């Protein structure tokens, strides 16, 4: 979601927010192409549900794992493992799974620690994009949903 557009209630739950340009179309395309989709979020429990429902996307996700409900936050491997287990992904398949996130310290570090692929989406300069060590170094960096879609297509062709 486009964090700058969040409208929150008094408890900090996001009631609605806009998506990054092209995100809804990319999610729909990936689902149509048979990709499994999961959310791993450090947020209030209703935040991802509210935003996904707002945009008619909730039913496209196989798993929604929320830190507050899981009892751990990113980059703790347990939150990622919870989502992967719900998808029935074995550790042997972790290298074929990609975490796409906007936060080096949480998303990239957590993915890298488990041997998942890591893609940093960096649409603006709100968050740091320069890694401070190998644990924060993403496999790929994209600035838009268009770039992300092209990267996924390229990676899919390489896996063949």
Rounded Cα distance, 74 and 84, in Å: 14
Asked if the model's pLDDT at residue 127 lies above 90, the reply is: no
Average pLDDT over residues 91-112: 96
Question: Which candidate, 132, 130, 103, 134, places its Cα nearest to that of 119?
Answer: 103
Query: For residue range 9-60, what is the model confidence (pLDDT) as tens digits?
Result: 999 999 999 999 999 999 999 999 999 999 999 999 999 999 999 999 999 9
Q: 68: part of which helix (H) or strand (E)?
A: helix 67-70
pLDDT of residue 160: 62
Hey, where are the domains in the chain?
Answer: 3-159
Tell me the CATH number of domain 3-159, given options 3.90.1150.10, 3.10.20.30, 1.10.3720.10, 3.40.50.1000.
Answer: 3.40.50.1000
Rounded Cα distance, 89 and 86, in Å: 8
Q: Name all contacts of 7-13 with Cβ < 8 Å and 24+ positions apart.
A: 11/44, 12/44, 13/44, 13/45, 13/46, 13/47, 13/50
Asked if the model's pLDDT at residue 159 lies above 80, the reply is: no
pLDDT of residue 110: 97
């Amino acid at each position: 979601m486009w964090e700058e557009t969040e409208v929150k209630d008094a408890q900090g739950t996001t009631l609605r927010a806009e998506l990054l340009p092209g995100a809804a179309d990319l999610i729909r395309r990936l689902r149509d192409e048979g990709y499994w989709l999961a959310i791993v979020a450090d947020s209030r429990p209703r935040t991802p549900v509210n935003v996904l429902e707002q945009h008619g996307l909730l039913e496209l996700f196989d798993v929604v794992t929320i830190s507050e409900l899981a009892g751990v936050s990113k980059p703790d491997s347990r939150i990622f493992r919870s989502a992967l287990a719900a998808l029935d992904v074995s550790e042997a398949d972790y290298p074929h799974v990609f975490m796409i996130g906007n936060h080096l310290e949480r998303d990239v570090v957590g993915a890298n620690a488990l041997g998942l692929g890591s893609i940093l989406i960096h649409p603006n300069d709100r968050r740091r994009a320069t890694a401070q060590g190998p644990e924060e170094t993403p496999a790929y960096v994209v600035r838009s949903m268009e770039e992300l879609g092209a990267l996924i297509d390229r990676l899919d062709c390489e896996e063949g």
